[in-house]
Amino acid sequence: MHETATPRNDWTVDQAENLFALPFNDLLFQAHQVHRECFDPNEIQISTLLSIKTGACPEDCKYCPQSARYKTGLEVEKLISIEEVVAKAKQAKANGAGRFCMGAAWRNPKPKDMERVADMVRQVKSLGLETCMTLGMLDEQQASTLSDAGLDYYNHNIDTSPDYYPEVITTRTFDDRLKTLENVRNANMKVCCGGIVGMGESETHRAGLMVALANLPEHPQSVPINQLVQVKGTPMYGEESLDPLDFIRSIAVARIMLPRSMVRLSAGRSSMSDEMQALCFFAGANSIFYGDKLLTTENPEENEDMRLFSRLGLKSMQQPQVA
Q: Choosing from 177, 206, 264, 269, which is the catalytic residue?
A: 264
Active site residue 57: yes
CA distance 298 to 57: 20
CA distance 18 to 8: 16
Active site residue 132: yes
Angle at the Cα of 320 from the Cα atoms of 315 and 321, rounded to 5 degrees? 130
CA distance 51 to 293: 9
Q: Choosing from 38, 99, 172, 192, which is the catalytic residue?
A: 192
Q: Choosing from 61, 99, 255, 269, which is the catalytic residue?
A: 61
Going by DSSP bridges, is the β-strand pair 43-53/99-104 parallel, antiparallel, or unpaired?
parallel
Number of Cβ within a 10 Å radius of residue 126: 14
Active site residue 64: yes
Q: Is 13 left (phi over 0), alpha (psi -120 to 50) or beta?
A: alpha
Q: Choosing from 38, 99, 101, 255, which is the catalytic residue?
A: 101
Active site residue 193: no
Q: Choosing from 38, 57, 193, 280, which is the catalytic residue?
A: 57
CA distance 296 to 253: 28
From residue 194, how far is each of 66, 155, 197, 220, 311 by CA, in Å?
19, 9, 10, 8, 28
Active site residue 192: yes
Q: Is 284 left (phi over 0), alpha (psi -120 to 50) or beta?
A: left
Looking at the annotation, which residues are catalytic? 57, 61, 64, 101, 132, 192, 264
